Chain A
C-alpha cells in the first residue's frame, strides 16, 4: 500500500496540513485585529470620561481594569509559583537520590498535577483556599458574619493558578539544571565549593534562561485560563480597587462572560472584540518572550561556538 504512494505526495500532504494550521493562526490574529481596530479608541482603554453609568453596563467598562486585574493575578501567581517550582525542581534534580523510587514517585505526582482538569483546580481552590485557609483566618479573627478572607478573592485565585501551573516551572527548571555542563559543576566542587554554593553560583545562574522560559510558559498558560477563576475570585465588575481579599476583573473571564451571558450582545460587542484582541496579543507577547529566552537556554553551549 505505502509503496504505491508516489514519493512527491507525502511532502505536499504534510506541508499542506502544516501551512493550513499556520494560516489559521495568522487569520485568527489578523481577523481579530481587523475587527477590533475600529473600537481601539482611547476610551476603549481607559473608559469614557464621566463614569456615570452602571458598572454592569458593558459600555462603561474598558480595558484598563481588565488588564490591571489580569496583571495583578499573574504577578501574584508568579510570586508563588516561582519559588515553589524552583525549590521542587532543585530537590528533584540535586538532592533527591537519583533514580530512587521516591524521586520517581515525586516526579510522577508533579506530572499528574499537570494533567488535572482546570475545573478541578477551581473547585479545589474554592474548597481549600477560600474555605479552609480563608475561612480559617476569619474564624481566627473571630468574625464569621462578615468574612474578610473567606470569600473568593484575588489572592486565592492567584494561588490556585500557581498550583495549576507549577508543573510547567518544575519540569523546565529541572531540565535546565540537568543541562548545566557537568564540567562546570566539577570545576566548582574542585575549588572547594559546597553543594549550596555550587547551586547558587553555578547551577541556578546557568539554568536561568531555562527557568525563565518555564515561568513565562506558566504565565502564558495562566493568563488565558478562565475556569479556576470562576470559583475563586473573578468578577464582571468591581469598585475599581485592587486588593488581595477582593474580587478582581480579568481579561479572559470578561471574554467568557461577554460571549456567553451578556444581557445585551450588541452593546457589549466592542468590549468583547477589544478584550479578545488584548488577550491574543498578550499570549503572542508571552510566547515570543519564551521563544527568545529558549534560544538563550544554554549560554554556555552558545558561547562555546
Chain B
C-alpha cells in the first residue's frame, strides 16, 4: 500500500508546496508526526490530495481551512478512525512516533491509546465522572489504587480536579458543557497518549469555557503533541506554534503560525486568513 516508507522532503519541494519553513525556520523540537503524500478517498470523492506535513513534538499545530477542506479527515487518518467510515481508502503514509499508522499490521487499539482524540461535541459516557476518566485505563487493565491515582492526575492535568473532586460519583452528564469537554480531555489524557488530536475542541462552547479550554491546551502543549482543527482564526493564532492551511483537500501552505498569519506565501492562504473567503 505504501509506495515509500522513507521520508525525505525532496518530493515536497518538487510538488511546489510551500514547505521551506521546515528547513528555514525549523522548529527545535524533534518530529512526532510525519505525513507523506497522504491521499484519502471517501467513496468516489477525494477528500485529501497528497498531503505532506511534519508535526513537531510538544507543539500545537493548527489545521485551518474552509469547511469540507479535509481537516477533520486528515485528523482521523492519524488514529485510524477513518476505518469506521465504509468506503474510505488511503494512499501514502503517515508515521506517528516512527510507527507507520496505515500499516495493516499495526494494532489500532494500541495506536489509539497513543494518539488520543477530542471531538467537537463533547461525548462523555452516561456514567460517573470517575468512570469516564477510568474508561481507557480500565480497558487497558488498570485497577485499584493505581486507577484512582491516575484518574486524579488526569483530572488535574485537565484542570478539572478542583471542580469535580467532590462529584466523582455524579453522572458526567450533569457537568456543564465546558466541564464535559475538559472531562473528555481528561479521559483522553488518562491513558497517557503522545499525541492529542483535537477536532474543533472549543467550537460548541461559551466564551468563558473556550478561554478555559485554550488555557488548558497551552498547558497540555508542554507534555503532548497537539494537532488541532479549528475554524477560529484568532484561536489558531493564539494557540498554535505551527499552522497548516488546507483547501479542497490540498495542503496549500504550512509554516510558523506568525508567518502564516503575517506573510502568507500563497494568495489562497492570504484570502482565507484575512477573511476574504471561507
Instruction: Give A contacts to B, CB under 8 Å.
Output: 181, 183-184, 186-194, 197, 201-202, 206, 299-300, 303-304
Contacts and interface: CB of A to CB of B under 8 A. Distances in A.
15 contacts: A184-B123, A186-B119, A187-B184, A189-B81, A190-B81, A191-B116, A191-B136, A191-B139, A192-B109, A192-B111, A193-B136, A193-B139, A194-B109, A202-B125, A300-B173
B136 A192 contact: yes
B119 A191 contact: no
B126 A300 contact: yes
Q: Which label, helix, strand, loop or mixed, suits the secondary structure of the B interface?
A: helix
A304 B173 contact: yes
Contacts of B138: 201
Given A189-B84, A303-B171, A183 B139 contact: no
Contacts of A194: 109, 139
B269 interface: no
Contacts of B236: none
A194 B108 CA distance: 9
A300 B180 CA distance: 14
A193 B140 CA distance: 9
B135 interface: yes
A204 to B, nearest CB: 13
Contacts of A193: 109, 135-136, 139
Nearest to B79: A190
A187 B118 CA distance: 8
B77 to A, nearest CB: 13
A206 B117 CA distance: 22
A184 B121 CA distance: 11
Contacts of B174: 303
B191 interface: yes
B187 interface: yes
B135 A191 contact: yes
B126 A190 contact: no
Nearest to B83: A189
- Which 4 residue pairs spanning A and B have beta carbons closest together? A183-B123, A192-B113, A191-B136, A192-B112
Interface in B43-96: 79, 81, 84
Contacts of B121: 183
A192 B110 contact: yes
Nearest to A194: B109
Given A184-B126, A190-B119, A192-B112, 14 more contacts: A183-B119, A183-B121, A183-B123, A186-B84, A186-B119, A187-B119, A187-B123, A190-B117, A191-B191, A192-B140, A193-B109, A201-B139, A303-B126, A303-B174
Interface string B241-274: 0000000000000000000000000000000000
